[in-house]
Chain A
Amino acid sequence: MLDTTTIPLAVLLFPGGLFALAFGLALKGLDRRVAARLQGRVGPPLAQPFFDLVKLARKRTMVPDIAAEPVFLGAPLIGAVSMLLCAALVPIPGVYAPNPMLGDLLVLLYLLAVPAVVLMIAGSASGSPFGAIGFSREMALMLAYEGPLVLVVAAVALRVGSFSLTDIVAYQQTHGAFLFDPVLWPALAAFLAFYPANLGIVPFDIPEAETEVLEGPLLEYSGPALGLFKVMSALKAVVVLGLGVALFLPLAPDGLAGLAVHLAKLVVLMILGVTLLRVSMGRMRIDQAFAFFLKWPLALSLLSLAIVALA
């Protein structure tokens, strides 16, 4: 189990790295395609995010005169690398269990916060007023959703008695999935409110709102640097949805069938939880989103933690 030679493989090839990136881009393409169909359009091909990435790699990166250049160019790199590490930390039930040397749920929690921090740094380093607005909105939103996330994770970990995702998956395989465990339903509801905010989709795409602040922190980015942000967001979709599966519904057979089941779960989650949500809702204001998170998800996750602690 503690064979360290497989760690680079897990980070760079499977299930992190290339595999997660390819799957994440496919998920993004599916999302755009399904959204177009729901609006009565034909929509782009499934591989569109991949074309976008190749295009961005061939463009020039421009750095604004007033930007802090090392930070401006370093931020997307840090974001993409942190998500690369994250992808290797999420188990695929029946197929892949992360090496304990690599880290557990706590490391994942910290790494999951990096993209938001990176966006804040990028927004302020770019020197653009829209970037600054994006920065302040991102910070407010992050303060609002990080609390519930930590409490949800704490509730699940307390139920299992371990912060290792491998243990959490194993526990559910013997005791039944937490999706059907009423004790953890409030935590599930809180998680369902958390992930749209973390993935930055409507109703919670407030920091990058295209029609208000012109993509905020990403406004000044072009070429390969913007491409790295696209890589980061594709990997983040796989990580966050994969985390949801590992926490609440990790039941799957072993081997290739298990991989297929896992990927199918992510596709269903993407279409039902992301695409349908974003085409059917409008964007909230930052104060509304802040109040929402401090009211419902926080209360629900606290409730869940209390029930688990008492049960």
Chain B
Amino acid sequence: MTLMQTLTEKAKNLAVRSPWIYRINAGSCNGCDVECATTALIPRYDVERLGCQYCGSPRHADIVLITGPLTARIKEDVLRVFAEIPDPKVTVAVGVCPISGGIFRESYAVNAEVDHYLPVDINVPGCPPRPQAIIEGVAQAIALWRQRI
């Protein structure tokens, strides 16, 4: 049993070095998405060195980045895509919109706060947040993910 436990711990330590990231745009103005893309794609903030990989399919994802205030138009689709992501997963809300609706907060067309509908684990506030903040959010998500995997 103890050997089993040490092996599981070892496997966990290896597994958390491979967090694959998936982005959901829940009606964002694209500002946060640009910052997310910057975080991933340009040499300065290369997150692949942490083992991160942006994936195109929700089925491959471990860490979900959600941007935008969850507009009425896209709500059902976002919930559906979120359900497609296999457990264990961690949800990171990027930008101020998922927290309060941001500049759209009084609109009839948005459903913010997002955590009424989805289990948000980590908030990265900002309009838009800086890449460093997003990386910190991802790092916290990895720490949380370690407890779940």
Contacts and interface: CB of A to CB of B under 8 A. Distances in A.
Interface stretch (B30-38, B44-52, B68-76, B106-114): B44-52
B149 A48 contact: no
Interface string A191-235: 000000000000000000011001100111111001000000000
B86 A223 contact: yes
Contacts of B86: 59-62, 222-223
Contacts of B11: 54, 57-58
B48 A58 contact: no
A44 B59 contact: no
B119 interface: no
Name the prevailing secondary structure of the A interface residues. loop
B81 interface: no
A220 to B, nearest CB: 6
Contact of B15 (A32, A51, A61, A62): A51
Interface of chain B: mostly helix, strand, loop or mixed = loop
Interface in A251-279: none
A40 interface: yes
Nearest to A222: B59
Nearest to A40: B43
B60 interface: yes
A54 B59 contact: no
Contact of B59 (A41, A45, A219): A219
Interface string A51-67: 11011011111100000
Nearest to B8: A58
A39 interface: yes
A50 interface: yes
Interface in A1-54: 32, 36, 39-45, 48, 50-52, 54
User: Which among B16, B17, B62 has the greatest number of chain A C-beta atoms within 10 A?
Assistant: B17
Contacts of A41: 43, 46, 48-49
Interface in B1-33: 11-12, 14-20
A60 B149 contact: no
Contacts of A214: 56-57
Give the interface size bracket for A toward B: 20 to 34
A52 B18 contact: yes
Given A59-B86, A218-B57, A43 B17 contact: no
Given A48-B51, A54-B11, A215 B149 contact: no
B88 interface: yes
Interface string B80-119: 0000101110000000000000000000000000000000
Contacts of A211: 56
21 contacts: A36-B46, A36-B49, A41-B46, A41-B48, A42-B46, A43-B48, A43-B49, A44-B48, A48-B17, A51-B15, A52-B51, A54-B15, A54-B18, A55-B18, A57-B11, A58-B11, A58-B149, A59-B87, A60-B87, A210-B56, A220-B57
Interface of A: 32, 36, 39-45, 48, 50-52, 54-55, 57-62, 210-211, 214-215, 218-223, 226
Given A36-B46, A44-B48, 18 more contacts: A41-B48, A42-B49, A44-B49, A45-B17, A45-B49, A50-B14, A54-B11, A55-B17, A55-B19, A58-B12, A58-B15, A59-B62, A59-B86, A59-B88, A60-B86, A60-B87, A219-B57, A226-B59
